[in-house]
Amino acid sequence: MNTLTKMALGLLGQIKPHPAVGYAASTIHLPTANTTGGLPLMQAMMQRQSQREFETTPLPEQVLSDLLWVAAGINRPDVNGCTTPSAMNAQEIQVYVALPSGLYRYAAPTHTMHLVTATDVRRVTGYQDFVDDAPLDLIYVADHARMKLIPASQRESYASAAVGAMAQNVYLYCASANLATVIRAWFDRTALSQAMELGNDQQVLLSQTVGMPKKTKLSS
Ligand SMILES: Cc1cc2nc3c(=O)[nH]c(=O)nc-3n(C[C@H](O)[C@H](O)[C@H](O)COP(=O)(O)O)c2cc1C
């Protein structure tokens, strides 16, 4: 759906998810993340960029595993340490994954994904048309219930800082794995919160599309 149509539907409160495509398991046990190899950090930094053209091909489960681990995985289980920082280690950011088969929430301690709703919410994650068909959109949600020890006036900025770190981890992983990605703030927050069935303590902050880069005629 093009951007103008989405904006018009948004004004009418009518940006809705699509029916799911394919089977949605209630729990997806991800393979262990591959924590070796990849591009050297400085080379990945040289490649980091936003891209907005994606193949529709689904990402392999191993790639999904690595992606979620770099975004929000546990890297030091002895201290419940995460790949990204959070104020007071509150780990308040919940990472959702919008797939054609359904919307999932990532659980870092078990490295699993849990089905939230068996609908395709990808088109609700942004006004831009590529989000409808790219294989997945990550959605970063702040869980205010986990920030009780942080002054209320600071919660949103702290959570936003944590999402920034997650998004950059994902950018660097994508640079290393030859994937395309873009972090996004331009979406209908009410429509997306409804589509995701979020509770009162949950606040959508940003979304990030990931997929294989669209092949140009020359590269195909
Ligand atoms: C908070 C934030 C929100 C953004 N929102 C969008 C967005 O809604 N759509 C989009 O296409 N890009 C979005 N971007 C990506 C920027 O447009 C992009 O990072 C910028 O143009 C620089 O390009 P680069 O990432 O390739 O260096 C956003 C970036 C940030 C940090």
Measured distance CA(182)–CA(68) in Å, rounded? 15
Nearest to 71 by CA among 169, 162, 137, 140: 169
Nearest to 63 by CA among 39, 21, 33, 40: 33
pLDDT at 12: 87
Asked if the structure places residue 192 within a domain, the reply is: yes
Number of domains composing the chain: 1
Q: 64-84: per-residue pLDDT in tens? A: 999 999 999 999 999 999 999
Asked if the structure places residue 89 within a domain, the reply is: yes
Q: Is 47 in the pocket of ligand 1 (CB under 6 A)?
A: no
Asked if the structure places residue 219 within a domain, the reply is: no
Whether 128 shows a pLDDT value over 70: the answer reads yes
Asked if the structure places residue 32 within a domain, the reply is: yes
Q: Is 185 in the pocket of ligand 1 (CB under 6 A)?
A: yes
Ligand 1: nearest atom to the Cα of 50: 26
Nearest to 147 by CA among 205, 92, 201: 92
0.85 surpassed by pTM:
yes
Residue nearest to atom 12 of ligand 1 (CA): 184
**Residues forming a β-bridge with 96:** 105, 139
Note down the domain range covering 87: 3-12+26-211
Q: Is 50 in the pocket of ligand 1 (CB under 6 A)?
A: yes
Q: Is 134 in the pocket of ligand 1 (CB under 6 A)?
A: no
**Residues forming a β-bridge with 143:** 202
Asked if the structure places residue 17 within a domain, the reply is: no
Asked if the structure places residue 216 within a domain, the reply is: no
pLDDT at 219: 61
User: 114 pLDDT band (50/70/90 cuts)?
Assistant: very high
pLDDT at 151: 94
CA of 59 to the centre of ligand 1 (A): 22
Q: 6-41: per-residue pLDDT in tens? A: 999 988 888 899 999 999 999 999 999 999 999 999
Q: Is 18 in the pocket of ligand 1 (CB under 6 A)?
A: no
Strand locations in the chain (E): 18-19, 27-29, 74-76, 81-82, 93-99, 102-107, 112-117, 119-120, 136-143, 180-184, 202-211
Count of H-run helices and E-run strands, the chain: 5, 11
Q: Is 91 left (phi over 0), alpha (psi -120 to 50) or beta?
A: left
